[in-house]
Amino acid sequence: MLMPTAVSLVRKGIVQATDIKFPLAFRAKSFSLAIVSDAVDYLSPKVSADGVVIFAGYPHQQRAKVSELSKFGRPAKLRSSTWWIRYFLQNSLEENEVAAKKFEQASVKRSYKPACQVFHLKSYH
């Protein structure tokens, strides 16, 4: 479910939302940045021009409660950082070190500690 602020951004056309269960109807480099959570299996980095940010849960976190399951009936798989790194290597995805460093600096400055794994990737070119 989208928060009211997110719904407002979608209505204004600033943000686009899509159901990742189905093929994406976007051309290559349709967006400057794509942000996904545990959905990289469905989202090709080709849709973004500058990069992809992935927010992925930690394997030791509890799985979703039955009442919180997605409409497709399955919680997202929680994968380890080593699984993700292997996945990135197999799919020729490279870490965006500049973006990762900026994110880390901003996190320290704001005392923000993510409750999930955050990966910054370069787009395919």
Please write the tens of the pLDDT for every residue from 102-113.
889 988 988 888
Confidence of residue 88 (pLDDT cuts 50, 70, 90): confident
CA distances from 118 to 30, 56, 65, 113 (A): 22, 6, 23, 11
Alpha carbon distance 70, 75 (integer Å): 6
Least confident residue range of 49-53, 72-76, 102-106: 72-76
User: 50 or 38: whose pLDDT is higher?
Assistant: 50
The one-letter code for the residue type at 8 is S
Tokens of 99: 């973006």
Q: Whole-prediction pTM value?
A: 0.60
The residues pairing with 53 across neighbouring beta strands, listed in sequence order, are 35, 120
- Judged by DSSP in three states, 78 sits in coil
Q: Compute the half-sphere exposure of residue 11: CA atoms within 13 Å on the CB side of its CA.
A: 7
